[in-house]
Structure 1
């Protein structure tokens, strides 16, 4: 059984109970952690899910928890699968900018979440997967997937030429009709998904997590075999 950390606190609480059940049905055990007070992630996690919420209302406390931010960034850069929606995307960005204040966030996503008075995306969303979509493909996947968005922030000052998992058919997304920024094994989007037949994101994410676990195990076996061969020749 895979273990997935789920951010659950005053800053992040937008989760469909059915989605958490879908994660369990896919063979994952959601393990809660608190981005405001926990200095470290729970041990031995196989992935992270950071949902929506109001991180801007807690950005000082999120910034103050520097040890957790640094650990999430290091884990993400090392290849831990992470899925983030809306507020989770903001938390993974370099900083949240609101009311003249700038607070440092995780820094895994190369952009700043800048708050605006008017909504920057609101309503139903329709997404089409791009060739860069990192999770396992579905043979009978729908051409366009439903979702929704509501956010006053916009990801600005994006560095480099990031890859995106989705082309936005309807809605705003992150930028230029794109959503789902990809950084290593991290996928972060403004769209809120619901794991239903038309968009079964939960089992697909867990399948991706399991694939990464299998790759890591295979790499360890290769390293162990290489060490054994080296020891054998050292003894000759």
Structure 2
């Protein structure tokens, strides 16, 4: 364990949990460190692996929804380097590596289910190309989700909704989370791309969007008195709010209305995800929902996952480990749409073609 250690006897023998070391953070100085080490030695049998001092000179900028993304922080590399240098001086890394190396193998019950991949011996009949929005406005992607899409047979094609004038030639589209509201003027200015995405969505292109992606696909974003046009692939608008509308873990139940049900067929499978958004959907009409909200807020406290044509756009962020069939089902739907003659998005230029 790291970050928290309970000395409650009720937690002492938790199956699968073995605490072999601890380090202090934001330690005030040598005297503070000595007191911490003495107290831990007296009251616990846990090895102290280091004491990291307070670092007032290392500041990571924040705004609504948390830390400033690395793609927006020009000094991100220097911040990481400064933290690494301090950790290397104040933490016994060799001892940490030794402890990690002595850990017993994980049992099969501790591992997530295997997902299909070339390494597992399961190959897919054909590659499909899926565009992935990736720039300063869209940065919230779990690496495991990207890997899951690739394992399912997708060739991922990154593009920038801010800078690229055209959508690359693709069979599907994935727009993840981010801060479209911060860059809404620049997103609005890229009219050619917005129009191409809207036309492709209306023609039946499979599109999956999460949070910031949902906001971008709406007709407009309203924030601090300003209104900026977005893609218009969804029959709704987005209004920014001062307080979070949804924050934390969510539990969703499939309604069976998604073009690619995550359970593999129309079902009521439950999905664990999370949400964190300072915006709300307004003026929504003519849409169905992919999920019923059991816990959380979603779109309106009852539903999430706007379904419109072959678009699914939700506030929920899904993780492929918790929902193993998410990527497989989406890629399979993209493949089916391709084979059935759904018109793919064919860009007219750009570096990603």
Query: TM-score scaled to structure 2, two decimals?
Result: 0.59
Query: 1:216 is paired with a residue of what secondary structure?
Result: coil
CA distance in 2, matches of 1:105, 1:83: 16
Cα deviation, residue 28, structure 1: 0.1
CA-CA distance at 1:50 after TM superposition? 0.1
1:22 corresponds to which of 148, 169, 176? 148
Residues 80-91 of structure 1 correspond to what in structure 2 (within 5 A)?
80-91=205-216
Q: 1:194–1:200: 8 Å Cα contact kept in structure 2?
A: no
Q: Specify the alignment match of 1:227 in structure 2.
A: none
Over the aligned positions, Cα root-mean-square deviation in angstroms equals: 1.6
Which of 295, 302, 310 matches 1:177?
A: 302
Displacement, 1:196?
Answer: 1.8
* Aligned equivalents of 2:245, 2:322: Cα separation in 1: 28
5 Å-filtered alignment, 1:47-196, equals 47-136=172-261, 137-138=263-264, 143-160=269-286, 162-196=287-321
* Alignment coverage as a number of residue pairs: 215
Runs of 5+ unmatched residues, structure 2: 1-126, 343-353
In the TM superposition, 1:25-40 aligns within 5 A as: 25-40=151-166
Q: Which has the higher strand share?
A: 1
Q: Which has the larger radius of gyration?
A: 2
**Matching of residues 2-21 of structure 1 within 5 Å:** 2-21=128-147
CA deviation digits over 1:210-230, x for unaligned, max 9? 11112118xxxxxxxxxxxxx
Q: Confirm or deny: 8 A CA contact 1:193 1:199 kept in the other structure.
A: no
Match of 1:41 in 2: 167
User: Partners of 1:186 and 1:216 in 2: how far apart?
Assistant: 17
Unaligned runs of 5+ residues in structure 1 are 218-236
Rounded to whole Å, the distance in 2 between the matches of 1:5 and 1:48 is 5
Mapped contact 1:2–1:46 kept (Cα < 8 A): yes
User: Is the Cα–Cα contact under 8 Å of residues 255 and 268 in structure 2 kept in the other structure?
Assistant: no
On the 8 A contact 1:145/1:199 being kept in 2, the answer is: no
